Structure 1
Amino acid sequence: MCTCPLTRRGLLAGTTGVVTTAAVARFEPAAAGQSRTETFTGTFTGVATPDWHYLPVEVPRGVREIEVSYTYEKTDTGLGFSANVIDIGIFDPSGHDLGDANGFRGWSGGARDRFRISRRRATPGYLPGPITPGTWHVALGPFAVVPPGVDYEVSVTLHFGRERGRFVPKPAPRRVRGTGPGWYRGDCHLHTVHSDGRHTQRSLLALAREAGLDFLGSTEHNTSSAQLTWGRHVPDDFLVIPGEEVTTRAGHWLALGLPAGTWIDWRYRPEDDALTTFTERVRGVGGMAVTAHPFAPGPGSTWGFDPTYAAMDAVEIWNGPWTLEDQVAVAAWHSLLVTGGYVPVMGNSDSHHEGQAVGLPQTVVRASSLSTPAVLRGLRGGHSWIAESSAVDLTLEASLGDRT
Structure 2
Amino acid sequence: MTLFEQSGTWRPVDRAAQQVQTLSFEMPEGVTAFRVGLEFDRSGGGVLDLGCDGPHGWVGWSGGERSSVVISEEWSTPGYLPTAVSAAEWHVVVGLHEVPAAGVDYRVVVSRATAADVAAERRAQPAAPPVPERPPGRDLPAVDGMRWLAADFHAHTLHSDGALSIDELAALAVSRGLDVLAVTDHNTTSHHAHLAQVGERYGITLVPGQEVTTDRGHANAFGDIGFVDFRRPGRQWQRDVAERGGILSVNHPLGGDSCWRMELDQPTAVAEIWHSSWHALPVLRNWGGPLAWWLSWGKDTVPIGGSDFHREGSDALPGSPTTWVLCEGQDVLGGVAAGRTAVGVDPQGPVLLRVGDELMALGADGALLSTFEEGRRRIVGDRVVLPAAAGPWWLEDDHRCVLALCL
Task: Check if 1:290 corresponds to 2:246.
Answer: no
Match of 1:107 in 2: 61
Pair 1:73–1:382, CA change in 2 (3 A): same
Task: Check if 1:333 corresponds to 2:294.
Answer: yes
Match of 2:230 in 1: 266
| Match 1:157 to one of 111, 114, 122 | 111
Match of 1:228 in 2: 193
| Match 1:67 to one of 14, 35, 45 | 35
The AA in structure 1 aligned to 2:291 is: V
Counting only pairs closer than 5 Å after superposition, residues 45-64 of structure 1 correspond to structure 2 as 45-49=11-15, 50-64=18-32
Q: Contact 1:47–1:147 (CA<8 Å) still a contact in 2?
A: no
Relative to the length of structure 2, the TM-score reads 0.73
Structure scoring higher RCO (CA < 8 A, sep ≥ 6) equals 1
* Counterpart-to-counterpart distance in 2, 1:196 and 1:336: 29
Task: Check if 1:199 corresponds to 2:164.
Answer: yes
Counting only pairs closer than 5 Å after superposition, residues 149-188 of structure 1 correspond to structure 2 as 149-159=103-113, 181-188=146-153
Shift of 1:199: 1.4
| Match 2:48 to one of 86, 104, 112 | 86
Match of 2:236 in 1: 277
Q: Contact 1:291–1:309 (CA<8 Å) still a contact in 2?
A: no
Q: Contact 2:342–2:353 (CA<8 Å) still a contact in 1?
A: no
Pair 1:231–1:160, CA change in 2 (3 A): same
* Counterpart-to-counterpart distance in 1, 2:312 and 2:152: 15
* Counterpart-to-counterpart distance in 2, 1:354 and 1:182: 30
Counting only pairs closer than 5 Å after superposition, residues 15-54 of structure 1 correspond to structure 2 as 35-49=1-15, 50-54=18-22
| Match 2:334 to one of 374, 377, 391 | 377
| Match 2:223 to one of 236, 248, 257 | 257
The AA in structure 2 aligned to 1:91 is: D
| Match 1:317 to one of 260, 266, 273 | 273
* Counterpart-to-counterpart distance in 2, 1:154 and 1:252: 27
Relative to the length of structure 1, the TM-score reads 0.74
Pair 1:385–1:160, CA change in 2 (3 A): closer
Task: Check if 1:367 corresponds to 2:324.
Answer: no
Match of 1:8 in 2: none
Q: Which deviations, in whole Å up to 9, do the C-alpha atoms of 1:78-133 show, x marking residues without a partner? A: xxxxx421111111123xxxxxxxx1111111110000001101000011121011
Shift of 1:350: 0.3
The AA in structure 2 aligned to 1:368 is: E
| Match 1:245 to one of 196, 211, 234 | 211
Shift of 1:391: 1.0
Shift of 1:346: 1.1
Shift of 1:198: 0.2
Match of 1:26 in 2: none
Q: Which deviations, in whole Å up to 9, do the C-alpha atoms of 1:183-230 show, x marking residues without a partner? A: 111001000000000011111111111221111101000000011112
| Count of aligned residue pairs for this structure pair | 324
SS for the counterpart of 1:140 is strand
SS for the counterpart of 1:199 is coil
* Counterpart-to-counterpart distance in 1, 2:3 and 2:305: 46
* Counterpart-to-counterpart distance in 2, 1:398 and 1:380: 17
SS for the counterpart of 1:330 is helix
Q: Contact 1:211–1:389 (CA<8 Å) still a contact in 2?
A: no
Q: Contact 2:49–2:95 (CA<8 Å) still a contact in 1?
A: yes
SS for the counterpart of 2:199 is coil
Shift of 1:164: 12
State percent identity of aligned pairs. Answer: 32
**Unaligned segments of structure 2, at least 5 residues:** 123-144, 359-386, 388-407
The AA in structure 1 aligned to 2:42 is: K
Shift of 1:258: 2.4
Shift of 1:250: 0.3
Match of 1:3 in 2: none
* Counterpart-to-counterpart distance in 2, 1:164 and 1:335: 50
Pair 1:395–1:194, CA change in 2 (3 A): closer
